[in-house]
Structure 1
Amino acid sequence: MNSIDLNDLPTLKELSIIAYKWLSEHYPKFDHQPNFDLSHEIGFPIRWKTKMEGELFEWVVSDMGSITLRLGGVEGNRRNPAPIFYLSLRKLEGDVFSWADPEGNPVSFPNPSVIEDVRSRVQLYLDSRT
């Protein structure tokens, strides 16, 4: 794995926008408001709330290549609530980037398999509350 430098910032931002587009299609805003207009400059971090399994969650996409799903209801109003799902970009050889989970395992993203990963993490959280 290589270090990320200043020259990589535009690439990280571009990949973050791609991630946002994909996530917002699969996890729309809970209040059915339209997603951000991508023809205008996007302000980072991008945040939006979505409902899954009847609960409110918040997605946060940073321009530095990270994706976080966290609590979005009253519990999510805490400062920095714990992530339920998290991915970040890592730099491989040359100028190749790959999404990875917190343990550094590569994750194929965007990919429909992520939907199942998110679903299982959300269910794990919901089960832990009972």
Structure 2
Amino acid sequence: MNTIDLNDIPRLKEESMKAYQWLVEKYPHFDDPINVTADDSVLFPIRWKTKISNAIFEWVISDMGSVTLRLGEVEGNRRNPAPIFYLSLRKSEEGTLVWTDPDGNYVSFPHPTILEDVKTRVRLYLDSAS
């Protein structure tokens, strides 16, 4: 992987916005999103709570190309709760931005398979917490 530099920042923001638009369609706001204004202007990081499997989770999208799903109900852990699902943008050897999982594996995103992956990770978390 190549190093991301200052010239990549506009593309990172663009890809982060695409991620937000796709995810919010699949996982609608359960509350008022943080940093999305009434006129739909967006300031990063974008945060919103959503309900998945009758539990509340929070999506966080950064302008530097990261997507995180974390616990949304536990206010005491709100500052840095462990991620349930995480992707980040990296620069490939060819110089293009690609989404990767925490292990650095390429992930096709946005793609419908992400929905199943999120569902599986949420299920694993809920099963382990009960």
Q: TM-score if structure 2 supplies the norm length?
A: 0.91
Moved over 3 A (4+): 33-41, 75-78
Query: 2:23 and 2:125 mapped to 1: Cα distance?
Result: 20
What is the SS of the residue equivalent to 2:90? strand
> Does the alignment pair 1:45 with 2:45?
yes
Question: 2: CA distance between counterparts of 1:38 and 1:12?
Answer: 24
Larger relative strand fraction: 2
For residues 34 and 40 of structure 1, the distance between their equivalents in structure 2, rounded to whole angstroms, comes to 10
Q: Contact 2:33–2:48 at 8 Å: present in 1 too? A: no
When normalised by structure 1's length, the TM-score is 0.91
In structure 2, list runs of 5 or more residues that go unmatched: none
Q: Which amino acid aligns with 2:25?
A: E
One-letter amino acid of the structure 1 residue matched with residue 57 of structure 2: F
Task: Give the Cα separation in 2 of the matches to 1:119 and 1:76.
Answer: 24
Letter in 2 for 1:120: T
Match of 2:116 in 1: 116
Q: CA RMSD in A?
A: 2.1
1:102 maps to amino acid: P
How far does the alpha carbon of each residue in 1:13-33 deviate from its partner, in whole angstroms, 9 at most, with x for none? 0000000000000000114x6
Q: Percent sequence identity over matched residues?
A: 64
- Give the whole-Å Cα distance in 2 for the aligned partners of 1:76 and 1:70: 13
| SS of the residue 2:44 aligns to | coil
Q: Output the CA distance in 1 between the equivalents of 2:73 and 2:26.
A: 20
**1:70–1:76 contact (8 Å) kept in structure 2:** no
CA distance change for structure 1 residues 47 and 95 in 2, over 3 Å: closer, same or farther? same
